[in-house]
Structure formats: C-alpha cells, structure tokens
Amino acid sequence: MNKPWQIPTHRWTGARKRLWESRAVWLTAPIVAGLVLSLRSLGWLQPYSWMALDQFFRSRPAETPDSRIVIVEIAETDLRQLKRWPIDDGTLATALQKIRQKNPTVIGLDLHRDFPIEPGHQSLVEVFKTTSNLIGIEKRGGREDIPVAPPPALKALGQVACNDVVMDQDGKVRRGLLYWTSPDGKDFQECLGMRLALDYLATQQVFPEAEAGTGYLKLGKTIFRPFKENDGGYAQADAGGYQTILNFRGASRTFQRISVMDILQDRVPAEMMRDRIVLIGPTAYSIKDLFHTPYSGNSLTTPETMPGVEIQANIASQVISSALENRSAIQVWTVPVEWAWVLLWAFIGAALGWVPRSLRWAIASMMATLGSLVLICYVAFLAGWWIPLIPPALAMMSSAGILTTYIAYLERTERRTIMNIFGRHVTPEIAEAIWRDRNQILRQGRLMGRRMTATVLFTDLKDFSSVSERIPPEHLMSWLNEYMEAMTQVVLEHGGIVDKFIGDSIMAVFGVPIPRTTSAAIAQDAHQAISCAIRMASVLEALNARWDSQSRPTTSMRVGIATGPVVTGSLGGQQRIDYTTIGDCVNVASRLEGYDKTLSPGLCRILISETTYEFVQDQFPIQFIATVQLKGRSQITKIYQILLESSQNTL
C-alpha cells in the first residue's frame, strides 16, 4: 500500500509509460536544434534571415520623417542644367555660401574634393576655411577599397569624416558605421552621419560618454552596443569598426529633399534649413552612388535603391533620435538566449508532431504555430528587437515533420499489426473500430490480455470422419473450404470474429476485442451469436441442396453458445502471432457443442448456456434440456436448446 505522500503505483507506472512513449520528443528536439544552430553558425541560414528582416522593414507602418535633417540633392534634373559632373568648385562654393547664410546647425558635404575642379577652386578653399560647421569627407576603405583623400583645407581644420558604407554579402546596406577603425585599432575616425549627429547633439548639451564596465558609447538616453559578428541573423560577419544595425526611417525619399538648383537660384526660404543638419550629395541615378537596402526588392525589375547621402542621413537620424528621444535601436539577443529560443521551438514542433496523432491536424497546427512565430517576431521588431525567425521556424518545422513522419510510421506498423491479427477474423467496420481504440488495446506490438464478457460460439460438423473417408483428400479440402468460407461470412455479417478453425470446427466470439461495458451491449452480443447460428443453419441447408445436386456429401452441424468472462489477447512469437480468446466460457461453449451427440438429430442443433439464456430468453423459442455437470467442470450447468424451425419463422 502506498504511503499518503507517495504517488500511487498505478499512476507512477502510467506516468513512466507516457514519459517513455514521448522519448522521441525529448530526443528529436535537441538534435534538430543542434543541427539548425550548426547551419546558422556556418552562415547557411543568413540569407533567409536577411530576407525576413527586410520583409519586416517593408511591412511596418511608416514613421514620421525626421524634420531635423534636410538633404540638398544633385538630381538628374540638376545635372541637365549644370551640364557637367562633377560640378565645378566655383558652383559648389556658391551653393555652400547660400546654405551657410540660412544658419544650419551643421553641414555635411557628401562629395569628394581631393583635387581641384576648376573654375573656382580658390573660392571653394576660402569657403572651407571660413565655414566652421562644414564637415567634408574622405574614404578610408578596407583591405580591398581604394582610399580617397579629404579636402586638404578641411583636413587641416579637423572637419573631416569618412563616408564608408558597410554592405552585406547580398549587396544590401543593413548596418551603419559610426566609427571607422584601422585593423590595428590605433587609428579611428567618425563617419559622416555620426559626426553630424555629434555636432548637432553638442548644441543640445549631449556629449559622448563611455559606459562604465563595458566602454560602450553612451549618448543621452541610449547606450550604443557595437555590432558583433553573429548578431541577429548574421554569421561570422565583418564587425570591424564601431557598427550598429540600422533602424531605417523608411524607404528612399523619407527625408526632405531640396534641389541644388533651387539653392543656387535662391528659391529656398531660410526656415527650411535653420538649426538643422544639411547634407549635400548626389541622388542622380547616372552617378551610381546608390545602394540596395531592406526596402529594395519591391519590384522584380527595378529594385528600389537609396543614395549614399540618404544612408548618412539615416545614421545621423538614428543617433540623434536615440540619444534625445530614446527611439528604439535594432536590438538583438545574446547567443545563449538565441540557442534557448531555437531549442524551445524545436520542442514545440516536436510536440506538435507527436500530440495530434493526425497528419491533417499536425499540418494545421504547424501552420498556425508558424504564423504565431512570425507574429511574435514581427511584434518584437516593431518594439525594436530583431529576434531569430528562420532558425526557430526551421527547427519547429523540422521537428514537427520528423515526429509526424515517425508517428505515421508507427501508425502504419500498428495498423499492419492490427490487420495481421484481425484482418481475416473481422469485418472492415470492426477492424476500423479496433484501430480507433488501438491505444487502449495495443501495446508493444501485441494485444495484451484483457478480461471482458463475451459470447463464444462453437460449431462442428456431424459425422465428418465418415465423410472424409468416402471422398479423396483434394475433394474433401475443397468441400470443407466451401463450408468454412460460407460460415465465416455469416459470422462476420453478425458482428463476430472468427477466433480459429480447428479441423471442421469453427470458434467465433462476439463482443471482443473492445470490451462491452453495459448489460445491454452484452445481451446484444448474445442475440447476435444465436442469430448467427440460426443463419448458419439456413446457409448449410442451401449448401446441402447444391452439394446433393452435384453428388457431393451433405452434412449437418452442432452449435454450442455460452456467455461469460473471457480473457482475450494475442498469443505467439515474433514469427507468428494470433488473436485468441480463452477462459471457462470457451470451455462451456465447446462442451455444449459436443454434448450428447444423439440429441435432436437434424440439420443444426443449437445449445446455449444458462447465462446466454438469461440474456435472450424473451427473444427466441427456447426449451430447457437438462442440468448436467459438463466434462472438465465441477459446477452444474443448465443447458437450453434453440428451437430452430420456430426461430427461423420469427426472424
């Protein structure tokens, strides 16, 4: 007996059984998660993670444009009027003077000026020397890039930033470079967008600091965590310099643009630039200073591009809005958290494949769960988090697919086992009912012994030995098979199962293998067994008529029927296994069939037990025969006989 604090033994056994049966889930999920994480670390999932991120950018609601930044563009229409590229130094000097007069906070010149472009070079140099809030550019480049020197006059004044852009392997810009650093780490420089943002923030009394403990850049309300090589969906990316994942304001033309010709022709009011960041750069398609971004790909033929000057505007806007307004940057999880996330979804997928036990429901559950994962990741993105989508989705779908396939294999195996055991014994309808309840009756590839109440029917042919002596063996076998086939069909039609053939005898059982739980159901089985025996008599009569016309032997039969407790299950080994019924009720039915073979000679004699009689006494004409002690039994048995002709008239 279990102690009060102990789990009851039968419950613990059931719990252990369920745990053991679900071992496929506990084994599959970690293995799949490990494989997915390996693919992720090798970079094989990186392109798909980028595609998911790009789609999130394109799907999110448009943000309010940043009014603190204005772009003075050199567009195709401007080039047609200027009639040259690059524009000469004199024209550029005039444009800078007119912009300076409108009192912007800082001016970013996203044009290379490493050598004079006459006419007007001296005028441009003078503008450089007298404009303290003007920032020029140089290209520092990497191992494969060719550096471009800055304007010497601005270099001498320390008013230079680099305009290097970080591109991913698919040619898109998703990261912004805040600081360029040399490979040895000894030299560094602000990039243009960062330099413009710092100069603007200085007017707001916000200055860069180093976070205690990490040394990360801190500006106002935000700490800029530097991009690392495996952040987000990246794998072994180049994390040189101080990078950040760009949180674009939107697609191209998000920022206000002003034509350089409008500046030169004084068509721009001063308030459009006062106290703002002004960026000057080319946007003309023919100049090719264009980049693909997450917003590219909207069109299959002409993917949207973004000018380099607008890339710098996005960097400046992200830094300023994060520092002043705590606008969310694109944040990512640490590697251990990402591993746990992928493992979680691998388990979810494994559970989805294991629990439904139905291919249709498994697929529907997978699709619904995948949609939930996408929604979770999208909502997180709206909140500023890039959490993995492709690795957990792959882990979930793979685990679910593997478990669904495994379950399908188990079901095919179980169905084959069920059909091997019952296929020749029962009707397809009963076989399907057994299949539906297989989890209750099938264990370890066999039907375990179960106690239930059933009705057993035994038949035997009268004088079979004498018949077998009169005809050749091959004719005897054909004659007997014809009889067996007809009687088997009768059993199946009445909802019974053929347990076995023993020579010329047939054993059939009604009420197995699914237990009957009510007296009405047990009574119905008894009724079906007797109806089956009566029908057997009619079929045998038809067979005798045909055999007689063919000059073949005719015969008669005896039937014994008993209702009571039995034990059912499968017997045999791996090479051969059979479903059978054993118990005292089987012995009683067999003894009733063989009782007093001289009693009531005729076409078919049907004897039933007392228990069967109690269930059907008002449904068939029955007479009491005797109270006897059957062979092999110590208990007294009452025997009843079905009056066949009257029964046939009432059916």
Q: Among residues of the chain, what percentage have pLDDT more than 90?
A: 65
The chain-wide mean pLDDT, for the chain, equals 87
Q: What confidence category does residue 574 fall into, taking pLDDT thresholds of 50, 70 and 90?
A: low
Average of pLDDT values for 535-547?
94
Q: Report how far residue 492's alpha carbon sits from residue 648's, in angstroms, rounded to the nearest whole number.
A: 19
Region of poorest pLDDT, from 19-28, 90-99, 243-252, 588-597: 19-28
Tell me phi and psi for residue 553, to 5 degrees.
Answer: -65, 145
Of the candidates 327, 328, 322, 332, the residue with the CA atom closest to the CA atom of residue 386: 332
Strand partners, 210: 217
Name the residue among 446, 418, 421 with its Cα closest to residue 432.
418
> Do 46 and 73 sit in the same domain of this protein?
no
Burial of 591 (0-12, 13-18, 19+ CB in 10 A): buried
Query: Do the domain assignments include residue 432?
Result: no
Q: Which helix (H) or strand (E) holds 560?
A: strand 557-572
- The number of distinct structural domains making up the chain is 3
CA atoms of 57 and 41, how far apart (whole Å): 24
On whether residue 433 sits in a domain, the answer given is: no
Q: What is the pTM of this model?
A: 0.71
pLDDT at 602 over 90: no
Q: Taking the CB of residue 600, how many other CB atoms lie within 10 A of it?
A: 15
**Of the ranges 82-96, 434-448, 502-516, which one carries the lowest mean pLDDT score?**
434-448
pLDDT at residue number 380: 95
| Tens digits of residue pLDDT in 477-495 | 999 999 999 999 999 899 8
Is the Cβ–Cβ distance between 533 and 644 less than 8 Å?
Answer: no
Give the gyration radius of the chain's Cα atoms: 45
Rounded distance, CA 278 to CA 264, Å? 15
Q: 46-81: per-residue pLDDT in tens?
A: 999 999 999 999 999 988 999 999 999 999 999 999
Residue 248 and residue 146 in one domain: yes
Among 325, 341, 372, the domain-final residue is: 325
pLDDT at 363 over 90: no
The predicted structure's pLDDT at residue 649: 46
Same domain, 99 and 162: yes
Closest C-alpha to 456, from 589, 310, 613 = 589
- Residue owning tokens 């004079």: 116
The last residue of one of the domains, among 325, 354, 377, is 325
- The pLDDT, as a whole number, for residue 298 is 56
Whether residue 432 is predicted with pLDDT greater than 90 in this model: the reply is: no
Q: What is the mean pLDDT of residues 13-42?
A: 77
Compute the average pLDDT of residues 159-176: 94
**Residues 203 and 170 grouped into a single domain:** yes
Per DSSP, 271 falls in state G
The answer to whether the CB of 442 falls within 8 A of the CB of 417 is yes
Helices (H), 333-427: 335-354, 359-382, 390-422
Same domain, 88 and 162: yes
**Bigger pLDDT: 6 or 630?**
630
**250, part of any domain:** yes
Query: From residue 437, how far is each of 40, 418, 447, 525, 627 by CA, in Å?
Result: 43, 11, 12, 19, 40
Location of structure tokens 């018949």? 467
Model confidence at 142: pLDDT above 60 = yes
The band of 629, judged by pLDDT with boundaries at 50, 70 and 90, is confident
Nearest residue to 231 via CA among 310, 323, 168, 319: 168
Closest alpha carbon to 167 in 182, 159, 177: 177
Categorize the per-residue pLDDT at 14 as very low, low, confident or very high, splitting at 50, 70 and 90.
very low
Claim to verify: residue 85 and residue 32 sit in the same structural domain: no
Q: Average pLDDT in the 158-164 region? A: 95
pLDDT at residue 640 greater than cutoff 60: yes
Question: Would you call 186 helix, strand, or coil by DSSP?
Answer: coil
CA distance 505 to 557: 10
CA angle 252, 254, 259 (to 5 degrees): 85
Q: So what's the pLDDT on residue 2? A: 44
- Domain boundary residue, one of 260, 294, 325: 325
3-state secondary structure labels for all residues of 145-176: CCCECCCHHHHHHCCEEECCCECCCCCECCEE
3-state secondary structure of 458: strand
Answer yes or no: is 123 within a domain: yes
CA–CA gap between residue 197 and residue 276 (Å, rounded): 11
- Tell me the mean pLDDT in the region 617-628: 91
Q: In what order do the strands lie in the sheet with 277-282?
A: 160-162, 134-138, 106-109, 277-282, 69-74, 256-259
One domain, residues 141 and 235: yes
Q: How many residues does the chain have?
A: 651
pLDDT digits (tens, 9 = 90+) for 201-229: 999 999 999 988 888 999 998 999 999 99
Looking at the fold, whether 402 and 503 belong to one and the same domain comes out as: no
Look at residue 135 in the predicted model and tell me its pLDDT: 97
Provide mean pLDDT across the span 90-117. 95
pLDDT above 50 (res 13): no
Q: Is the pLDDT of residue 452 over 70?
A: yes
Least confident of 179-188, 356-365, 521-530: 356-365
* Structural domain span for residue 545: 442-650
> At 648, is the pLDDT very low, low, confident or very high (cuts 50, 70, 90)?
low
Lowest mean pLDDT among 18-22, 163-167, 246-250, 457-461: 18-22
Residue 590 has pLDDT above 80, yes or no: yes
Q: Do residues 292 and 387 both lie within one domain?
A: no
Beta strands in 76-163 (DSSP E): 106-109, 134-138, 160-162
CATH code, domain with 467? 3.30.70.1230
What are the C-alpha distances in Å from 29 to residues 24, 44, 90, 294, 358? Answer: 8, 20, 68, 32, 19
Decide if 6 is inside a domain: no
Residue 601's pLDDT is 63
Q: Which amino acid is at 345?
A: W
Q: Is residue 512 part of a domain?
A: yes
The reply to whether 280 falls in a domain is yes
What tokens does 496 get? 């019974």
**Within a domain: 437:** no
Q: For residue 537, give Cα distances in angstroms to 199, 524, 542, 644.
A: 108, 20, 9, 8
Residues 464, 606 within the same domain: yes
* Cα–Cα distance measured from residue 12 to residue 30, given in angstroms and rounded to the nearest whole number: 26
Say how many C-beta atoms besides its own lie within 10 A of residue 428's C-beta.
10
Question: Are 174 and 231 part of one and the same domain?
Answer: yes
Position 72 scores a pLDDT of 97
pLDDT at 578: 63
Shared domain check, 452 and 306:
no
Mean pLDDT of 111-120: 93
